[in-house]
Amino acid sequence: MTARRPPARPLVCALVACGSTDRVRLYVIGARCAAHTPSAQAGLPEPDELLTRHRQTLARLTSTDTDTDTERTAA
Ligand SMILES: [Zn+2]
């Protein structure tokens, strides 16, 4: 038994006026290019960008040469 695959077609941004095939990914609302992701349309950073920032913050906070003990501890 061989698995049948549909022919590979590039995803197209489903936004009516766009039709781009550049970095298109599937979202719940449909296929969107990088310029029309839900986050981009809401003016928010992309989730992977947030993850990168989070990792940078963690790396900064957990680095051994911390001279930033100015944060208050909750009493
Ligand atoms: Zn688009």
CB 30 within 8 A of CB 14: yes
- Band (pLDDT 50/70/90 cuts) for residue 75 is low
Give the pLDDT of residue 70.
Answer: 56
Task: Report CA(1)–ligand 1 centroid distance (Å).
Answer: 38
- The residues spanned by each domain of the chain are 25-62
Å from CA of 70 to ligand 1 middle: 45
The alpha carbon of 9 and the centre of ligand 1 are apart by a number of angstroms equal to 17
Q: What is the pTM of this model?
A: 0.58
Alpha helix segments (H runs only) across 1-75: 38-42, 47-62
Q: Give per-residue pLDDT as tens, 16-71.
A: 899 999 899 999 999 999 999 999 999 999 988 999 999 999 999 999 765 555 55
| pLDDT value at residue 7 | 78
Distance between Cα 14 and ligand 1 center (Å): 7
AA letter at 32? R
CA of 68 relative to ligand 1 center, distance in Å: 43
Task: Report the DSSP beta bridge partners of residue 32.
Answer: 25
Q: CA-to-CA distance for 75 and 58, rounded, in angstroms? A: 23
